[in-house]
Amino acid sequence: MNRPTCVRTTPRGSLSLLGGFLLCACLLAPGCRSRQSTPGSTALTDAPSPTVTRIEGKGGRSETRPADRPGSGKTPEQLKFEADQKKEQEITSQLEQANGMLKGQNLEGALRMVQRVALENAQDPYVIMRTSYLEAMIFHKLKDGPKRKEAMNRLLKSMETLQGDPRFQQGFLDGMANQEVIKMSLDKAGKNYGP
Report how far Cα 18 is from the mean position of its chain's Cα atoms.
48
Q: Give phi and psi for 74, each to the nearest 5.
A: -100, 145
**pTM, 2 dp:** 0.51
The reported pLDDT for the residue numbered 174 is 84
What angle, 0 to 180 degrees and rounded to 10, lies between the N-to-C axes of helices 76-103 and 107-120? 160
The reported pLDDT for the residue numbered 61 is 56
Cite the beta strand spans of the chain per DSSP E: 52-56, 62-66
The reported pLDDT for the residue numbered 116 is 94
The total number of residues shown for the chain amounts to: 195
The rounded mean pLDDT for the chain is 75
List, for residues 112-141, the tens digit of each pLDDT value.
Answer: 999 999 999 888 888 999 999 999 999 999
The reported pLDDT for the residue numbered 68 is 54
d(C-alpha 103, C-alpha 121), whole Å: 24
The reported pLDDT for the residue numbered 97 is 93
First to last CA, the chain: 83
The reported pLDDT for the residue numbered 8 is 58
Is the pLDDT score of 45 beyond 90?
no
d(C-alpha 126, C-alpha 173), whole Å: 17
Is the pLDDT score of 42 beyond 90?
no
d(C-alpha 137, C-alpha 148), whole Å: 7
The reported pLDDT for the residue numbered 7 is 55
* Selection from 44, 45, 66, 46 nearest residue 55 by Cα: 66
Tell me the mean pLDDT in the region 43-65: 52
List, for residues 132-186, the tens digit of each pLDDT value.
Answer: 999 999 999 999 999 999 999 999 998 888 877 777 777 778 888 888 988 888 8
**Amino acid of residue 119:** L
